[in-house]
Chains A and B, each alone.
Chain A
Amino acid sequence: MKDQMALSTQQSNDDDQYLLLAKVDNVRHVSTILKAIHFKEIATLFASPMGLKVTVEDAKCVQANAFIQETIFHHYIIKEEQVTFKINLTVLLECLTIFGSSAVPGVSTSLKMCYAGYGCPLLLILEEDGVLTDCSIKTLEPDEVLDFNFLSTNVINKIIMKSECLKEAFSELDMTSEVLQILLSPDPPYFRLSTFGNSGSTHSDFPKDSDMVESFQCTQTQTNRYKISLLKPSVKALALSARVSIRIDNRGFLSLQYMIKNEDGQVCFVEYYCSPDEDVDEADH
């Protein structure tokens, strides 16, 4: 009976049985954002009336969240305050890009996504030019995700900048270095990314008055190191983004928020949290 429903392209009363029902005209609006956090296979999906939040974690040290707010979907119904399940992100992305992932002008794949509740698979119906694909992906029992307890009130230093120049800096990171050191300071060199690799050290300095920097709110000098292997996956989000906000709190925890604009000019956010490798700056609290 479910299968019959899935094949139907019409709005059906059977849709009522789903806890979550979301439709989008262009599946790329969803798939691109999810790709930005695709550095681990398993993701946890949280659906709420606000939209979808997809979380990926690694090594209990880094967490990436992709937010696809309700307005991205042209049809979004949720019957509960929150629906949570784990899913294989690799498989989900494969299904979402089953008609190809590159943008073809004038052609877009539409998506209907349904979830009936605990223990049920996530159903995807993709359609492009009258061709239908019907996917059913098993969902998994949700685990608890990390709570970084990152409060904006505890933020000591914050920069908002255009992603362009950071993209270059991140793509050139010396991967022989174990850590990426981030220095934020109200004094020169203001914002410095450093690596310490086999062949020597590299520093990239960004002055606060650069036209790449849109907001510079640094109150005290902070130097923290983060595992480069944990931060490197954020390059995917960085590459898509237009702006990035870099925040470090009093514990040295790092928050990177990427603002990503899709083809229709809608804005989504991807967020990375990373715990520091070691506290080299004892001055904080």
Chain B
Amino acid sequence: MNCVIPGVNIKVFGRAVQSLSKIGEELYVEPLEHGLALRTVNSSRSAYACFLFAPSFFQHYDDGSGQTTNGSGKEEGEEEAIRCKITMKSCLTVFKSVYTLEKTVERCKIKLDMTESRLVFQLHCRHGIVKTHNLAFIECETLQAVFSKDMCPNSLTASARLLCDAVQNFQNNQEEVTLIVKPDKILLKNYVEDEPDPTKVMHTELRLEPEEFDNIQVGVDSEITFCLKEMRAILAFSEATNLPVSLKFETAGRPIVFSIDSDSAFEANFVLATLADTMTQQGGSSNVPTESKTSQKRKHTSNSRTSVKAINKSQTSRKETESMNIGRANETEEQSVRINEHEDSFLSRRKPNNKSPDHEGRSNRLNAALSELMNDDMDDIMLDQETREEISKQPIPPELGTKSVSGRDRITTRSPVPSTSRENISPLIPLQSSKPQIFNITTEDVEMKENEEEEEELVPGTPPSKRFRSMFFGSQSSTITQSSQRTVTKELSVLAEDTDDEG
């Protein structure tokens, strides 16, 4: 890789890095044929951000794939292009002050020094001063999120100003906001977690005038809750660059995509998980009760590996929570199980892809992914399951009473040492488990997964206590939306983050 950012664009690049730094702690740098991709994912993996700087953004751009002339050689060349990740901190030192960048930097060279194994940022400043940053990197696989913005029924486009003004009304420590979209109104309000006394919490609700938006398209009424911090990161960038932001989303539990597009020079996509809200999802899930059962069975058969792991986890957590009452301990179990499931969904998506060089398999899987994307039933099933579990722990409206009782029974009658029955009550069913195509994981793959999983440890302090559907990361779909079909095949080998640094 070797590219040069001209002085006029350095500010945008710097802002992009700063914006990414508010989301993740590692920066994934990937030179592609159609541009330089900078990506990051947050520690709980509920937010993913990607900037793609097109070759036209640069004064000079060479993705380092070498020979790009002959047709078949192209693919190989691209395989060779190095993908790497660097710590966000180190990159931030390069682009620390946008003000001085703008004022002093005339051009910025980015290159990979393979002999020294360094990613080199060279800032050519005024007065002939040259600042060279040689940053250590780790070679890694592509970080990719599964999301689709083209098929979202809801879409809003607004100036950064409008959204910034709206967001400013929330307190700085506000974690999540809820966006409510109906054909006649758009509301933004702060999301209040299960407070013992809701009257003691400040509620802020803003009604946004549809006329103020550049574009509005509401296919389904939705009420989605997502993190404010990441949204602020996006808005900071769009405000600085004065570009409108478009929001594409469906319903609660499905990711929301914030996109910023500058005429062919660069594009940015931020994918945020949304809270799978119990109340709003209740209705949607009721129409697929039969499938719910079958998928649960499938999970039972196919994911016994997961369950085993889950049991281990739950046992350890039980030890830790011995002094607590049973109900509390159960909660902890559920959380740890859920974490495992998250990891599983990462791994199982990644591994098979990694192992299949043949095109046939790829396109199959691509189809699978596509149909998966189109098909929402799965999520509803999951949510349904999840909902029941959730409900059992909460005071709930009367019409849900029966369900909740059964849920509670299930939990309380569980034997203190969970045996194989444990898998029946895993609160989450990984997405892929219901898709036969993705089952075509060979046994060795599974074994590999297991090995890997043993290495993986729970990151302390990051239980998804809120039900963010974090796991939309995996492989394919973003390529469909993001770029040409050609890249689809290439990026199929795409993986989530390397596991090495998970511990």
Residues of A participating in the B interface, judged by any CB pair closer than 8 Å? 165, 168-169, 172, 174, 189, 197-207, 209-212
Q: Which residue of B lies closest to A198 (CB)?
A: B90
Is A202 in contact with B130, judged by CB distance below 8 angstroms? Answer: no
15 residue pairs A–B, Cβ–Cβ below 8 Å: A165-B125, A169-B129, A199-B87, A199-B90, A200-B90, A200-B135, A201-B133, A202-B133, A202-B134, A203-B131, A203-B134, A204-B131, A205-B129, A205-B132, A210-B129
- How many A-B residue pairs have C-beta atoms within 8 angstroms? Tell me: 61
Is B127 in contact with A199, judged by CB distance below 8 angstroms? Answer: no
B130 to chain A, nearest CB (A): 4
Is B104 in contact with A200, judged by CB distance below 8 angstroms? Answer: no
Is B130 in contact with A205, judged by CB distance below 8 angstroms? Answer: yes
Q: Which chain A positions have C-beta within 8 A of B264?
A: none
Q: A204-B129, A205-B132, A207-B128 are in contact. Are A199 and B96 (CB under 8 A)?
A: no
Is B134 in contact with A201, judged by CB distance below 8 angstroms? Answer: yes
Is B127 in contact with A204, judged by CB distance below 8 angstroms? Answer: no
Is B127 in contact with A174, judged by CB distance below 8 angstroms? Answer: no
Q: Which chain B positions have C-beta within 8 A of A172?
A: 93, 96-97, 131
Is B89 in contact with A199, judged by CB distance below 8 angstroms? Answer: yes
B79 to chain A, nearest CB (A): 26
Is A200 in contact with B131, judged by CB distance below 8 angstroms? Answer: no
Q: Which chain A positions have C-beta within 8 A of B129?
A: 165, 169, 204-207, 210, 212
Q: Which chain A positions have C-beta within 8 A of B128?
A: 206-207, 209-210
Residues of B participating in the A interface, judged by any CB pair closer than 8 Å? 86-87, 89-90, 93, 96-97, 100, 104, 118, 125, 127-136
Q: A200-B118, A203-B132 are in contact. Are A168 and B127 (CB under 8 A)?
A: no
10 A-B pairs besides A200-B136, A210-B127 with CB distance below 8 A are A165-B129, A172-B131, A199-B86, A200-B134, A204-B129, A204-B130, A205-B132, A206-B128, A206-B129, A210-B129
Q: Which chain A positions have C-beta within 8 A of B104?
A: 168
Q: Which chain B positions have C-beta within 8 A of A211?
A: 127
Neighbour of B93 across the interface among A168, A174, A205, A206, CB < 8 A: A174
Q: Which chain A positions have C-beta within 8 A of B87?
A: 199
Q: Which chain B positions have C-beta within 8 A of A212?
A: 127, 129
Is B127 in contact with A165, judged by CB distance below 8 angstroms? Answer: yes
Is B131 in contact with A202, judged by CB distance below 8 angstroms? Answer: yes
Q: Which residue of A lies closest to B94 (CB)?
A: A202
B93 to chain A, nearest CB (A): 6
Q: Which residue of B lies closest to A211 (CB)?
A: B127
**In the bound complex, CA of A206 to CA of B97 (Å):** 20
Q: Which residue of B lies closest to A174 (CB)?
A: B93
Q: Which residue of B lies closest to A199 (CB)?
A: B90
Q: Which chain B positions have C-beta within 8 A of A204?
A: 129-132
**In the bound complex, CA of A199 to CA of B91 (Å):** 9
**In the bound complex, CA of A207 to CA of B89 (Å):** 28
B112 to chain A, nearest CB (A): 13
**In the bound complex, CA of A189 to CA of B132 (Å):** 12
B109 to chain A, nearest CB (A): 13
The 8 closest A-B pairs by CB, nearest first: A199-B90, A200-B135, A207-B128, A210-B127, A210-B128, A205-B130, A203-B132, A212-B127
**In the bound complex, CA of A172 to CA of B96 (Å):** 8
B123 to chain A, nearest CB (A): 9
A228 to chain B, nearest CB (A): 14
Q: Which chain B positions have C-beta within 8 A of A174?
A: 93
Question: Considering residues A197, A198, A199, which has the most beta carbons from chain B within 10 angstroms of its beta carbon?
Answer: A199
Is A202 in contact with B93, judged by CB distance below 8 angstroms? Answer: yes
**In the bound complex, CA of A205 to CA of B134 (Å):** 14
B329 to chain A, nearest CB (A): 40
Q: Which residue of B lies closest to A175 (CB)?
A: B93
